[in-house]
Amino acid sequence: MMWPQVPANEMINAFVAFLFAASAPVAIILAAGTRGGLSEADLASWIFAAFAVNGALSIGMSIAYRQPLAFFWTIPGTVLVGAALQSLSLAEVIGAYVMTAVLLLVLGLTGWVRAVMDRIPMPIVMGMVAGVFVEFGLDWIRAFTTDFVLVAAMTVTFFALTAVPRAQKLFPPMIGVLLVALMVLLLQENVGTGVATPEGTPIFAAPAIYWPQFSVAAALELVVPLAITVIAAQNAQGIVILRGAGHKPPVDAITTACGGASLATAMLGSVSTCLTGPSNAILVSSGRVERHWIAAVLLGVLAILFGVFAPLVTSLLLATPAALLSTLAGLALLRTLQAAFQTSFGNTFSLGALVAFLVTLAGIPVLNIGAPFWALVFGMLASFLLERDAFSKR
């Protein structure tokens, strides 16, 4: 089989998705782990597993299904773990990871997840997705206050190239955005400042093996909430985004893959694997549908390299202006956010979608379970009470 030619569009989407995954989400890992008293070695092993193992999974699944199936780790689950480490040992948390992985495997192999997903109205799920992604749009607008020249130059370039359909085919907007951002940074003399790693910082990751300790306390506090964040808060986003882009993601296989990968990442100290929403949204934001999977494969390669060189690359990313990353993510997700609003607030389930949007946007966890899950619960409840006719029309 001949490997298809890799166009610049897929490369740039993969790179932007990688920048997103390797910036703020990594900071969340560092914050949660530090709060939980993990050592630098523990954090390094966590980051290695989160990128290298999930990058390999992304490559394998995307090639097997010829769809963009990018996997990383559950961010809400990371926040839960940071809090749980206040009262649980790391070994007990690892035990909870293993039990969560087994639960995900059972749910995926039995097909129960697909049955549930098929019964949740699309507008309500997209209302939840819109609530998640609107923050990225707001971060782009807020970035104007931190570096107006950089953000304005990137924004003008994006809209100028997007406004001319012929120019989009020859020169994808996000490529122009990146090139203009580089030129502005060079003019501002920001490139290369503060990039050097501290003396003694290792270049290569050194993952460790962790043995689980099973406890009732860890099972009650983490297993069900982690599984819910993976399935309802994370996988649901990714699946709906991919469906909206014209793909048919294999729901059961995705859940099973999350369970299998979570077993591997657990032994290396990382939180559970999930199908990523924002990164997949960036991968499908432009280009031909039948070639989106190539971008996911490239993202997987970048993720593996990041895992191997995690200490070095993290230092380089920390030197990147926050306004650059916020603008890249915001512009890349703009069309996806537009599609989410259009699907959410159409003819049916619009009230349930609005409730799901507002609950997600509020971001208030209940019973240690993140807001996206409760957005689906309350959105469904609102539609059942006030839009009951919509269910009969499905």
Average pLDDT over residues 9-18: 87
Position 385 in a domain:
no
Instruction: Judge whether 333 lies within some domain.
Output: yes
Q: How many domains does the chain have?
A: 1
- Cα–Cα separations (whole angstroms), residue 235 to 125, 197, 292: 11, 35, 18
pLDDT in tens, 182-215: 888 888 765 444 444 455 556 777 788 999 999 8
Asked if residue 85 belongs to a domain, the reply is yes
- Region 78-103: what's the mean pLDDT? 88
Q: 3-state DSSP helix/strand/coil percent for the chain, to nearest 5?
A: 75, 0, 25
Question: Has residue 331 been placed in a domain?
Answer: yes
Q: Is the residue at 345 inside a domain?
A: no
> Domain range spanning residue 49?
8-338
pLDDT of residue 195: 43
Task: Calculate the average pLDDT of the chain.
Answer: 83
Domain presence at residue 254:
yes
Q: Which candidate, 329, 306, 249, places its Cα nearest to that of 50?
A: 306
In a domain, 362, yes or no: no
- In the predicted model, what is the mean pLDDT of residues 148-163? 90
- Residue 353 located in a structural domain: no
CA angle 273–276–278, rounded 5-degree value: 155
* 72-104 residues labelled b (16+ CB within 10 A) or e (exposed): bbbbbbbbbbbbbbeebebebbbbbbbbbbebb
Q: What is the pLDDT of residues 312-369, one digit of tens each?
A: 766 665 567 778 877 877 887 787 788 778 888 877 888 989 998 999 888 887 776 6
